[in-house]
Amino acid sequence: MAQVQAVCDSCGSALVPNAAYCERCGSRTRKARRMVRVAIRVELVFFLAVVAMVIAFTWIYTAQK
Ligand SMILES: [Zn+2]
């Protein structure tokens, strides 16, 4: 398990447990940043899968002619 971040990286004020944002300065916690990174990675993988599928279908279509 990852340790819970208790203090804001930017302003140093105490955070609510499992908070995604600092209540004082509004910056993302490390946990929220990690979640954003994971979401971007998932989106990228999904986008690449769609591109690969389009390329594959185009190749199949042109190969059948
Ligand atoms: Zn802060």
Q: pLDDT digit string (tens) for 13-65? A: 999 988 999 999 999 999 999 999 999 999 999 999 999 999 999 999 998 86
DSSP structure string for 5-54:
P-B-TTT--B--TT-SB-TTT-PBPHHHHHHHHHHHHHHHHHHHHHHHHH
Number of domains present in the structure of the chain: 1
Between the CA of 55 and the centroid of ligand 1 the distance, in Å, is 46
**How far, in Å, is the centroid of ligand 1 from the Cα of 43?**
28
> Domain range holding 31?
1-65
- For residue 42, the CA-to-ligand 1 centroid distance in Å is 28
Rounded to two decimals, the pTM is 0.62
Q: Can you read off the two tokens belonging to residue 23?
A: 């209540």
C-alpha 32 to ligand 1 mean position (Å): 13
